[in-house]
Structure 1
Amino acid sequence: MEGKARNAPALLFLSLTCVFLSLCTPTLSTSPQFQTLTINPLPEKPTLSWADTEPESETQTLSDSTSSEASTTISLSVQLHHLDALSSDKTPQDLFNSRLTRDASRVRSLTSLAAAVGRTNGTRARGPGFSSSVISGLAQGSGEYFTRLGVGTPARYVFMVLDTGSDVVWIQCAPCKKCYSQTDPVFDPTKSRSFANIPCGSPLCRRLDSPGCNTKKQVCVYQVSYGDGSFTYGEFSTETLTFRGNRVGRVALGCGHDNEGLFVGAAGLLGLGRGRLSFPSQIGRRFNRKFSYCLVDRSASSKPSSMVFGDSAISRTARFTPLVSNPKLDTFYYVELLGISVGGTRVPGITASLFKLDSTGNGGVIIDSGTSVTRLTRPAYMALRNAFRVGASNLKTGTGILIV
């Protein structure tokens, strides 16, 4: 983060807290409010078990999200788990080191995308929404949070990475040219009654950044590459996703036959970014373009938290900060960071100008569910480090802890 660090986006990862996101950009508040976050001790490691399927009784279906018809929003929710919940054979130091390694790769991915972009120049239905689970993926060697949802008809339940920093939804598919290791069996589209390929040249295919075409099958082909070297390639298709008994029909997703990278353990990725192919954007009108998530701690709490889509995602007591739009890049969720306090005192030298998102798309602060460590531009980090040292001068430095 040195050198051109000032022009790179700061990454803000919120743990042990709840995040409310809207795809809309509200007006900036003229009187910012501040709230103290309290760090709690981590619980003991839990034991998790999962059923391969869930009952399909009392299942509600959401029809094609691309339809122009108005429809009533329903409530969906999923549990959230951190990946740490799935691994018990590693020491805390091993987990910490691997997390930092993965985190550095992800940050390079996000900053390289933002830098590349920087160099280039209606009525909504209302209703309660739906939800899903969130779990820690640390046990699988992944720094991401996972959810468990059903794919296809009948639904095959798999772990999916939750990522607010990317858009395309995808899953590993049989037959695999090359697939990484995942917890659940690889999804076989031939066994799903709702799976359908997207034709070449269709509007959905043209929404891809780099659409391709399998001329032999006349089906759309997708490819997504990440800055850390990870990628997924396959057929762009539509499929039904099931969230706690609520079926969401015709979700555009990638059926990946060649997938490589850091997505260990999960079957694929649920893109939650602001771009037009993300899951929230595809079915936004179904839940009034709102969703929220509460993150479990990294030690893998036995009680997963939830991700909720719809009006019920917003607590009546919630406090908000506006989202900021990047005119050059619509994927990321940017917020305006005004300052940082240590021990209740604002740190001098840390001003809003250090985190400002300029007109060329450089800078800014990104809320990212897939980044473990909060990273700051160097001047802000140095000021925060010095303030922390002063405030913690009476504490003994822990073994193996280095503050640079």
Structure 2
Amino acid sequence: MPAAPPPVRVRACLLGALGASGVAILELVREQTGTAGFLVGLGLAVLPVPLLMAAFRWLGRAAPRPWAQLLFCFGWGACAAALIAILANNFATEWISAATADPDHADELGSVAIAPVVEESAKAAALLLVFVFRRRQFTGAADGFVLAGFTATGFAFTENVLYLGNAFGEDAGSGVGALDSVTAATFFVRIVLSPFAHPLFTVLTGLGFGAAAALPPAAPRIARTGLPLLGLAGAMGLHALWNCSSRIGEYGFYWIYGCVMVPVFGLLLGLAVRIRRRRLHAVAGELAVYAAAGWLAAAEVPALASMPARSLARSLARHSGGRAAGRAVARYEEDAAALALLRHRARTGPAWDAEFAGRERELLQRLWLRRATAGPALARAAVLEELLPPRTGPGERVFVPAARLTGSGPWTAATSAGPSSPRPCVLPGGDGVR
């Protein structure tokens, strides 16, 4: 893979592009809906956004993505992808209309054949950027799931502002009552009935990128390229089917919604839960090896593999040491999960990339620096969550007193003294991971 441009330059270019597209899409939507319609659409369209973001964040909590990366994907979907989609769709519809002299046919063809291709490609660009420039943070299906969800949520937000704003303008011009309100009907269909539609499409693209990220370096190039394209094709196909649902008969929308969208949503929801469980299981299994080597206390491992225990550990640290201690525990948990998944990839696949040893040392060093604060808090959380028995005895794990939660002074392991200086861990059988 060719070397990426300097990160500072890349970030500056991307932020500049997002800022410019944000200003452009804001003015474009306001121009189409009017100021009053824009404000109404904005207020209604924002309602499902926190719920969708929380749902996708929940999926990725086992090894959380940086918030800056998630917000970039949301911003890309809301600004850059939406701007590309509006401009391209309008151009394509006008071109088809001029070529066929049939506006109705142009709208139908544009919504079914053009819009899915343009919109899903524009959203997929955000995943491609993360895949290329933050490759080592893209570890598998869960990452693709989360990033795709945030990108599509941003896109749906802007699209909903446009649709709801136009509906409000139509109601204001016709003076209809609440029962015949186009705004109410649009709100019900887009916000209540199908807020998950765009995320559902784009998640298929994300799964394709996630599958490609999980491939070993020796995998054929066609597989690395073909899996994201396969996912993108699936997203386009499902999107096209959804767009044509209202054009295939009086009950076409309900048939597609009940027989396709809801089952696919259920399947992907089940897959998301399974991915999350597998990630937590991998965290527990891999961190047990580091605990055996002295990098972690044995009591920390079950806490790091339990989301309630992680949350409790952060709360205990904040209570004893303030916000700084809470942030230290949160970063410790993120680094521990990243380390576990890094080792899991190295252990379950062929010889992994040459950066593994350096990345492992980096994460271990960061864990070691925060261990005095995070270790006791996690061990205490494991006891309070009943992941460990709160008693001592020969061969048993040791209860960590609450007095240790301040994080002051040198850290003492609950079961064994840690290494005096960081050293790379080794895989079972004594073979070091390189």
Give the TM-score normalised by structure 2.
Answer: 0.26
TM-score by length of 1: 0.27
Larger relative contact order (Cα-Cα within 8 Å, sequence gap ≥ 6): 1
Indicate the structure with greater strand content. Answer: 1
